[in-house]
A and B are shown apart, each in its own frame.
Chain A
Amino acid sequence: MPGTISTVPLPRQVDVRAPRFGAWVTAAVLVVALLTGSVWVVAAQALVFAAGAVGYAPYGLLFKRFVAPRLGAPTETEDARPPRFAQAVGLLFAVVAAIGYGTGIPVLGAVATAFALVAALLNASIGLCLGCELYLYWLRARPVRTP
Chain B
Amino acid sequence: MTGLIALLAALAVAAVLAVLWRRREGRLRPAAVSGYDWSTLGVGLGERATLVQFSSAFCAPCRTTRAVLARVEERVEGVVHVDVDAESHLAAVRELGIASTPTTLVLDPAGRELARATGVPRLAEVVALLERPTPADRKLDNPDRISR
Contacts and interface: CB of A to CB of B under 8 A. Distances in A.
Contact of A3 (B18, B22, B82): B82
Contact of B93 (A7, A106, A136): A136
Contact of A118 (B10, B22, B43, B94): B10
A85 B5 CA distance: 29
B90 A5 contact: no
Interface string A5-27: 11111010000100000000000
B91 interface: yes
Q: Which of A8, A114, A118, A132 has the largest count of B CB atoms less than 10 A from its CB?
A: A8
Chain B facing A: main interface SS: helix
Contacts of A3: 44, 80-83
Contacts of B60: 16, 78-79, 82, 127, 129, 132
B58 A34 contact: no
B128 interface: no
Contacts of A35: 3-4, 7
B124 interface: no
Q: Which of B7, B85, B88, B99 has the largest count of A CB atoms less than 10 A from its CB?
A: B7
Nearest to B51: A3
Interface in B11-41: 11, 13-14, 17-18, 21-22, 41
A137 B17 CA distance: 19
B14 A5 contact: no
B50 to A, nearest CB: 9
Q: Which of B41, B42, B84 has the largest count of A CB atoms less than 10 A from its CB?
A: B84
A136 B101 contact: yes
Contacts of A16: 60
Interface size class of B (residues with CB under 8 A): 35 or more
A114 B7 contact: yes
Interface string A77-103: 011011001000000000000000000
A126 B18 contact: yes
A80 to B, nearest CB: 10
B117 interface: no
Interface of A: 1, 3-9, 11, 16, 31, 33-37, 78-79, 81-82, 85, 106-107, 110-111, 113-115, 117-118, 121-122, 125-129, 132-133, 135-137, 139-140, 144
20 contacts: A4-B82, A5-B82, A7-B83, A33-B3, A34-B6, A34-B10, A35-B4, A78-B60, A79-B59, A82-B58, A82-B59, A110-B6, A114-B7, A118-B10, A122-B17, A128-B17, A136-B93, A136-B98, A139-B87, A144-B91
Given A9-B57, A79-B57, 9 more contacts: A3-B81, A6-B88, A7-B85, A82-B59, A106-B2, A118-B14, A121-B10, A126-B18, A136-B93
